[in-house]
Amino acid sequence: MKKYNVAVIGVGAVGIEILRSLKARNFPLDNLRVFARSSREIKVDNDSYQVEAIEGSEFSGIDIALFAGTEGEKGASVLYAQKFIEQGAVVIDNGNDFRLQKGVPLVIPEVNRDKIKTHKGLIANPNCTTIQALVALGGIHKALGLKKFILTSFQATSGAGKKPAIGLWEETKQLVENNKTNDFDHLNKEIKGEPLGFSHQIAFNVIPQIGGFGDDNYTSEEWKVVKETHKIYGDDTINISATCVRVPVFTSHSEAIYFTVRKKATLARIEEILKASEGVVYFSDSFPLPLEVEAKDEVYVGRLRRDPFEENSFWLWCVADNLRKGAALNAVQIAEELIK
Ligand SMILES: NC(=O)c1ccc[n+]([C@@H]2O[C@H](COP(=O)([O-])OP(=O)(O)OC[C@H]3O[C@@H](n4cnc5c(N)ncnc54)[C@H](OP(=O)(O)O)[C@@H]3O)[C@@H](O)[C@H]2O)c1
């Protein structure tokens, strides 16, 4: 079997899961290089990895580069993706920088793996909130055509990175130690000079804001769901609206999704489709919970029910590990498809 030289860029919440996924799935690795802003040795489970400082490194001979650095102008993919591509690597990027760019395939293998072959050096991984919704709805859209969906997310703190996830733990500890449930102004909000947590207390709370607000009072995270869905399903006539909420859960996002299909459909038909949908585990008589889904690869769906007032309209509840299927695993699956 051919083996590949792979680079992982970023060793935060997602990068660590990429290292775990490559190992767990026996990815045919020849040489593995790991980069971050600074060099050091890290331990993941029982394995040690030597992390190289990316600045000043050279990237020749790398076949696939899995990017999990932060976004924006100081982020790894904006600064380095092109350099990897010029040296012959195919870049698979977890961030938001290139997702909607024309000519960049935005891929969830269970939904649109055929787009991978259209790449010109860069393939984008969708946002975690979008991935799990579109895996859950993918079979339904294919069979019956989605007319609209309305999504409310309950998103884990690790979705914002390693430090915010630690922030939930630190806040909870400090509040419990002080015998309080609400004391944001007096909490220690940094560790070694780096900010922890969110702009509001997340322990014992929920925050209905993920990303910045636009003039329309939607957040950037909410628009990601709309725009990424239109690109991935290749259909911008689907009406989509989202409310994204941060909740005090470490890992796994949950979503309540209300959807209407174009063709006539019974509850039994939707159930039959969900049972056969790739990447979906369907719960017919109970429901998935974020704590149970952590470290699992699939998208878990339950609480299917029909709207008693509207035809062809239903609700479902779906849960997935945001660091696995929502990011690292999806990227590794793309790499697996690529080498096929
Ligand atoms: N967390 C999720 O659920 C999730 C889901 C989907 C997509 N994503 C996306 O995945 C990416 C990584 O997210 P994360 O949650 O893993 O973030 P994170 O925990 O904050 O980790 C970021 C990592 O990127 C490295 N990094 C940052 N800037 C870099 C640069 N210029 N060059 C090289 N390395 C750099 C950091 O290096 P140091 O360790 O040296 O500081 C760190 O290891 C983001 O684009 C995020 O939007 C995250």
Asked whether residue 161 carries a pLDDT value surpassing 80, the answer given is yes
Q: Which of 8, 14, 321 to mutate to test the pocket of ligand 1 (most atoms within 8 A of CB)?
A: 14
pLDDT category at 188 given cuts 50, 70, 90 is confident
The pLDDT of residue 195: 80
- State the average pLDDT over residues 116-145: 98
Residues of the chain with pLDDT > 70, as a percent, come to 100
User: 328 C-alpha to center of ligand 1: Å?
Assistant: 11
Q: Are residues 114 and 137 in the same domain?
A: no
Residue 52 in contact with ligand 1 by CB distance below 6 A: no
The reply to whether 77 falls in a domain is yes
Per-residue pLDDT tens for 227-253?
999 999 999 999 999 999 999 999 999
CATH of the domain at 318: 3.30.360.10
Cβ contact 279:299 at 8 Å: yes
From the list 235, 82, 51, 79, the residue with the least C-alpha distance to 149 is 235
Q: How many Å lie between the centroid of ligand 1 and the Cα of residue 160?
A: 9
Mean of pLDDT over the chain = 96
Asked, for residue 236, whether it belongs to a domain, the answer is yes
In a shared domain, residues 70 and 143? no
Q: Same domain, yes or no, for 275 and 307?
A: yes
Give the number of the atom of ligand 1 that is nearest the alpha carbon of residue 97: 45
CB of residue 10 inside a 6 A radius of ligand 1: yes
Q: Which pLDDT does position 97 carry in this prediction?
A: 97
Q: How far apart are CA 151 and CA 168, in angstroms?
A: 24
Higher pLDDT, residue 190 or 9:
9
Please report the atom of ligand 1 found closest to the CA of residue 160: 1
Residue 192 pLDDT exceeds 80 = no
Residues 111 and 216 in one domain: no
Query: pLDDT by residue (tens digit) across 20-55?
Result: 999 999 999 999 999 999 999 999 999 999 999 999
186 pLDDT band (50/70/90 cuts)?
confident
Q: Is the CB of 15 under 6 A from ligand 1?
A: yes
Asked whether residue 11 falls in the same domain as residue 143, the answer is: no
Within-domain flag for 187: no
Ligand 1 atom having least distance to the Cα of 165: 19
Q: Could you give the CA distance from residue 200 to residue 37 in angstroms, rounded to a whole number? A: 28
Among residues 175, 177, 193, the alpha carbon closest in space to that of 185 is found at 175
Q: How confident is the model at residue 66 (pLDDT cuts 50, 70, 90)?
A: very high
Atom of ligand 1 nearest to the CA of 95: 45
Active-site residue flag, 128:
yes
Question: What pLDDT is stored for residue 194 in this prediction?
Answer: 79
Which string of DSSP letters, residue by residue, matches 260-304? EESS---HHHHHHHHHH-TTEEE-SSS---HHHHTT--SEEEEEE
pLDDT band at 189 (very low <50, low <70, confident <90, very high): confident
Cα-Cα-Cα-Cα dihedral sign, residues 141, 143, 148, 153: negative
Domain match, 10 and 146 both: no
Confidence of residue 149 (pLDDT cuts 50, 70, 90): very high
Instruction: Check if 71 has its Cβ closer than 6 Å to any atom of ligand 1.
Output: yes
Neighbouring-strand partners of residue 257: 151, 316
Q: Is 42 in the pocket of ligand 1 (CB under 6 A)?
A: no
Query: Encoding tokens for residue 306?
Result: 């029909």
Active site residue 200: no
Domain that holds residue 40: 4-126+328-339
Residue 260 clears pLDDT 90, i.e. is over it? yes
Q: What's the 46 CA to ligand 1 centre distance in angstroms?
A: 22
User: Phi, psi at residue 260, to the nearest 5°?
Assistant: -125, 135
Per-residue pLDDT, 128 = 98
The total number of structural domains in the chain stands at 2
Give residue 213 CA to ligand 1 midpoint distance, Å.
22
Please give the helix or strand (H or E) that residue 315 lies within, else none.
strand 313-320
Compute, in angstroms, the gap from residue 254 CA to the centroid of ligand 1.
22
Q: In the structure, what pLDDT confidence band is assigned to residue 129 with cuts at 50, 70 and 90?
A: very high
**Mean of pLDDT values over 198-212:** 96
Is the same domain home to 335 and 309?
no
Residue 191 clears pLDDT 80, i.e. is over it:
no
Residues 139, 57: one domain?
no
> Catalytic one among 119, 141, 244, 253?
253
Ligand 1 centroid – CA 261 distance (Å): 37
Residue 100 shares a structural domain with residue 47 = yes
What pLDDT does residue 331 have?
98
Catalytic one of 119, 128, 244, 318:
128
- Considering the domain architecture, whether residues 23 and 85 belong to the same structural domain is answered as yes
- Same domain? For 35 and 120 the reply is yes
Q: Looking at residue 105, which CATH number applies to its domain?
A: 3.40.50.720
Instruction: Categorize the per-residue pLDDT at 193 as very low, low, confident or very high, splitting at 50, 70 and 90.
Output: confident
Domain membership flag for residue 166: no
Question: 212-241 as b/e, with b when 16 or more CB fall inside 10 Å?
Answer: eeeeeebbebbbbbbbbbebbbeeeebebe
